[in-house]
Structure formats: C-alpha cells, structure tokens
Amino acid sequence: MARETAATLGVRYKIPSLDYTSKCNEKINDILEVEVKDELCRRYMARGVKNIKIQPSPSWMQERLLEAGVRPINNIVDITNFVMIELGQPMHAFDRRDIEENRIVCEKAAADESFITLDEEERKLDSSMLCIKDGNRTVALAGIMGGLNSEVKEDTLEIIFECANFNGVNIRNSSKKLALRTESSSKFEKDLDPNLVEFAMNRACHLIEELGAGEVMEGTIDIYNEKAEPHTLDVDYTWVNKFLGIDISKENMKEYLDRLDLNTEINGDILHITVPTFRSDVNIKEDVAEEIVRIYGYNNVKSTMATSQTTKGGKK
C-alpha cells in the first residue's frame, strides 16, 4: 500500500528501521540446528533472543494492532503480529525451552497425527500438511498457526524467531482442510516473495531492541536453496502507445515504471525493465503496459468507438 500510494502521489515511501545490534555473545548456530526436508518450504530463517522481558507492548504498538483488528497479547507476540501487518510477512516465536533436542525440522505431518494449536483446539493432520517439528513432535502448522506446546509464556526467557516462506497452494489447501484460516495463512496463500523474509526478520530484531524486550544473539540460520532473483523485460515503447491507444513519451513511461520500483533504462525505443522479486506478477509486455496506464490514469485514455469493415451479401 505504501508503494502504491507513493507511486500515485509521485513521492517516496519510507522504509521502516531495520538496524539492530547483537548484544548477546551467544551464537544461534551453537544452540540450534535447522533442517528443511520438503521443497514446500522455500526459505527458513531463524534467530535467537535471550534475556527476554515479557511485558505489555507500548501504547503506540497496541493502538496500531487494535486498529488492524489484532488483539495485543504481550511484547514478543505483538512484535510478530506488528511485523506481519506492517510488511505482509508472517513470523512466529517459539519458547526455546520447548524446542527439544535443539532442532527445528520442516517436514510434512504424519498421517492422522493429532496436534493442539494455540487456540487450544485439537487438529487432525494428514500427510499433505507442512509442519514445523522439533525433532520429535510438531510445534507449529507451517504458515498457519503455532502449537500450544511451544507458545511464548509469562516466564519465557529465550525465544527462537522463525521467519519463512512456504508454498502458497499448500498453505491454502491445508487451511481449508482444517477449517482454520488465520492472518498468517491469508498472507502465505497469496505466494509471498522469499526475499521479504530477511527484511521482516531484521525489522523484528530492531523492534526487540527498541522495546527493550531482549538481546538478539549473534548469527542467523538461513536455509535458502533456490534464491529468487529479479528478472528483466524489454518492451518497445511505441508498442505500448499503440496497445493502449495513448501517446506519451518513453521518458514518461520510464518515470511511471521507476515510481513502481520497476527500474527502467531507455535503449533507443526499448524500455529495459528490471523487475524486483516482489513483483512476480509482471512477466509479459502487457503487464508492463498495465502498470504504465495505471499511473498515467485510465481517465486520461480517450474513449473511441470500435470500427469494423462491413460486407454486403456476404461479399466485401
């Protein structure tokens, strides 16, 4: 929404603060092992936070959560929900005491497995559902809801932050089977950008320090085997004008596309466009034309009557 609003108004949007300092000498790689066993998890990132102080979030955070329809719980849970609403990337926090064997494994559930979610409901899982396990038992339904057996509690002293990217179709199907649609699943089922994971994790760590909620450990565990990369498109600006029935310069087209973070260079009559990973919907020249006319303004496109060649008696 910030990008769209800024592009419409011709101004720059502000990136939330992401900086933080690891004040804890302990390294997460020394205390935790992560294994991804299923390609339905495209990226899994984990960081640790020690010396947690569970308390209410500041009023400004609680007010923003309430305005978004989310009930404030405590500072740690509120941070994960705040980041999800602010950036569109769900997160989760585990009480480290409840992660047995100091392992996190991302794999599918066992057939007819029972699991109690955070809402205290027992769920019957099947072997198509992606889960987060601690080596022995399920501790979260991937992309949907965490488990009661690893929730953040009033006496929690250490947490493991999870930020991941899951296959949207699998999350949607699992959510439907379980009749459990959450804020998290509604985001994941739209197929998120895997590169948003690190952005959101950094934001959460910044908020940990800003709120004085704990000390971020050194290091990051990041399982990211097939990195999403920007792609490029070459589009003739004269084709865009003909396709849309408008007449604007290639320089104006470049300006409109740049406003949308579709970074563009002009090579003669060709618009060479670098499409960022968060715009996976822009893949063909017609997509580019649509982006241009959105910013140009549909109201500026003149209405015309459709014309056709008529025949008489079946002959021209």
Residue at 168 is within a domain:
yes
Are residues 21 and 120 both part of a single domain? yes
State whether residue 117 is helix, strand or coil. Answer: strand
∠ CA 146-151-157, rounded to 5°: 140
Q: How far, in Å, CA of 262 to CA of 273, rounded?
A: 6
Are residues 196 and 56 both part of a single domain? yes
Residue 40 per-residue DSSP state: T
Are residues 190 and 286 both part of a single domain? no
Q: How many residues does the chain have?
A: 316
Q: Which CATH number goes with the domain that contains 21?
A: 3.50.40.10
Are 186 and 180 in contact by the 8 Å Cβ rule? The answer is no
Residue 27 pLDDT more than 90? yes
Are residues 125 and 58 both part of a single domain? yes
Q: What is the pTM of this model?
A: 0.90
Q: How far, in Å, CA of 159 to CA of 32, rounded?
A: 11
Are residues 124 and 244 both part of a single domain? no
Residue 309 pLDDT more than 80? no
Residue at 105 is within a domain:
yes
Are residues 135 and 219 both part of a single domain? yes
Percentage of residues of the chain with pLDDT beyond 70: 97
Domain boundary among 182, 207, 223: 223
Residue at 115 is within a domain:
yes
Domain boundary among 159, 190, 223: 223
Are residues 203 and 262 both part of a single domain? no
Residue at 315 is within a domain:
no
> Which residue shows structure tokens 């563009």?
264
pLDDT value of residue 308: 65
Measured in whole angstroms, the distance separating CA 283 from the mean position of its chain's CA atoms is 20
> Which residue shows structure tokens 């996190």?
104
Are residues 271 and 191 both part of a single domain? no
Residue 314 pLDDT more than 80? no
Residue at 51 is within a domain:
yes
The DSSP result for 78-108, as a single string, is HHHHHHHHHHS---EEEEGGGSGGGEEEEEE
Residue 25 pLDDT more than 90? no
Q: Which CATH number goes with the domain that contains 282?
A: 3.30.56.10
Are residues 131 and 255 both part of a single domain? no
Written as one letter, the residue type at 91 is: M
Query: Could you read off the pLDDT of 44-92 as tens digits, one per residue?
Result: 999 999 999 999 999 999 999 999 999 999 999 999 999 999 999 999 9
Structural domain that includes position 163: 16-223
Domain boundary among 188, 223, 258: 223
Are residues 123 and 210 both part of a single domain? yes
User: Which tokens is 216 given?
Assistant: 């971020």
Q: What is the mean pLDDT of residues 286-299?
A: 95
Question: How many domains does the chain fold into?
Answer: 2
Percentage of residues of the chain with pLDDT beyond 90: 88
Residue 306 pLDDT more than 70? no
Mean of all residue pLDDT scores within the chain: 94
Are residues 40 and 169 both part of a single domain? yes
Are 218 and 26 in contact by the 8 Å Cβ rule? The answer is yes
Are residues 253 and 143 both part of a single domain? no
Are 61 and 82 in contact by the 8 Å Cβ rule? The answer is yes
Are 32 and 46 in contact by the 8 Å Cβ rule? The answer is yes
Return the closest-CA partner of residue 32 out of 96, 138, 132, 103: 103
Q: How far, in Å, CA of 186 to CA of 294, rounded?
A: 26
Query: Could you read off the pLDDT of 208-251 as tens digits, one per residue?
Result: 999 999 999 999 999 999 999 999 999 999 999 999 999 999 99
Residue at 307 is within a domain:
no
Return the closest-CA partner of residue 22 out of 205, 164, 193, 150: 205
Are 257 and 271 in contact by the 8 Å Cβ rule? The answer is yes
Residue at 7 is within a domain:
no
Residue at 65 is within a domain:
yes
